[in-house]
């Protein structure tokens, strides 16, 4: 099974300066086209938040039209740039969503359980898993303790060293960590938010950040505050599950030519 993760498309309306700078719609379309060309065909696509840039209905309409360009099942999560009410107005009929107040759900395919968490705080760049959301996670994990599980969420639960982004991180992350300690079936945590490929351990679980399909945040590991974006190429993550092991590959969304290929047998 191949699960594609893309994150932080930040879809915006055509006339705004943000769209003129980042061309978010075009870049998400490029990512979807790249996913459609993958062989073998992926089984699912997970989007880990900041689906749009300003929380507007017009942005969600653009997003929906772009996502209709693939027939691969898509599962959406929200980030700090999203508006939960407008998201539900646009995508609330999706069958994987529950009637809960939060965008949290479980999907199970080929022996792997995939949970989406909602870290959105209204009108705040930080994330939070409040008591209600953590109770849902505890209950959901307790229902099937023997099934390998991965978690998708927007805000990474660990500090990245990019101090300006870390100030907009997941509040009270240790409470989330204490839930994980009770559930060893959780294999991986897949996040977004930072727009860069980053990995770290968190309470015994490998956590990984997926880059944006739109733009990169500058790699700045000084203690001085700095926030900038770069023209580094957009990426996506491909999670390969063989029934026992989960392996993650990073792939650019743009095409790069094959320079050399072996002909015939290697040995």
HSE toward the beta carbon, residue 83, CA cutoff 13 A: 13
pLDDT at 98: 82
Nearest of 262, 211, 215, 260 to residue 53 by alpha carbon: 215
73 and 217 Cβ atoms separated by less than 8 Å: no
Question: How, if at all, do strands 170-171 and 149-152 pair?
Answer: unpaired
Residue range 195-209: mean pLDDT, rounded: 98
Residue range 119-134: mean pLDDT, rounded: 97
Residue range 244-255: mean pLDDT, rounded: 95
Structure-token match 């999706």, residue found: 94
Alpha helix ranges (H) inside the chain = 17-22, 24-37, 57-67, 84-91, 131-143, 163-166, 173-181
Question: Pick the residue with more confidence: 158 or 263?
Answer: 158
pLDDT at 100: 80
Whether the predicted pLDDT of 266 surpasses 80:
no
Structure-token match 């991965």, residue found: 150
Bridge partners of 247, per DSSP, are: 240
**Burial class of residue 140, CB neighbours in 10 A (0-12, 13-18, 19+):** middle
192 and 212 Cβ atoms separated by less than 8 Å: yes
d(CA 209, CA 195): 8
pLDDT at 20: 96
Residue range 91-95: mean pLDDT, rounded: 94
Whether the predicted pLDDT of 99 surpasses 80:
no
Q: How many CB atoms lie within 10 A of CB 139?
A: 9
pLDDT at 267: 76
């Amino acid at each position: 099974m191949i699960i594609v993760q893309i994150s932080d498309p930040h879809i915006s309306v055509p006339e705004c300066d943000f769209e003129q700078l980042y061309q978010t719609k075009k870049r998400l379309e490029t990512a979807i086209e790249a996913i459609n060309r993958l062989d073998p065909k992926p089984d699912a696509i997970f989007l880990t938040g900041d689906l749009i840039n300003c929380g507007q209905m017009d942005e969600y309409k653009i997003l929906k039209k772009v996502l209709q360009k693939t027939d691969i099942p898509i599962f959406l999560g929200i980030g700090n740039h999203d508006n939960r009410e407008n998201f539900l107005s646009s995508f609330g009929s999706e069958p994987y969503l529950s009637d809960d107040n939060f965008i949290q759900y479980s999907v199970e395919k080929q022996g792997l359980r995939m949970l989406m968490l909602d870290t959105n705080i209204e009108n705040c760049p930080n994330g939070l898993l409040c008591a209600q959301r953590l109770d849902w996670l505890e209950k959901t994990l307790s229902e099937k303790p023997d099934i390998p599980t991965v978690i998708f969420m927007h805000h990474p639960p660990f500090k990245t060293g990019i101090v300006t982004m870390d100030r907009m991180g997941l509040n009270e992350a240790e409470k989330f960590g204490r839930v994980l300690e009770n559930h060893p079936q959780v294999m991986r945590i897949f996040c977004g938010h930072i727009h860069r490929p980053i990995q770290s351990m968190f309470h015994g679980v490998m956590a990984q950040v997926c880059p944006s399909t739109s733009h990169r945040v500058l790699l700045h590991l000084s203690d001085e505050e700095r926030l900038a974006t770069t023209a580094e190429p957009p990426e996506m993550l491909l999670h390969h599950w063989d029934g026992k092991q989960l392996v993650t590959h990073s792939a650019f969304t743009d095409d790069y030519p094959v320079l050399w290929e072996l002909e015939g047998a290697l040995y």
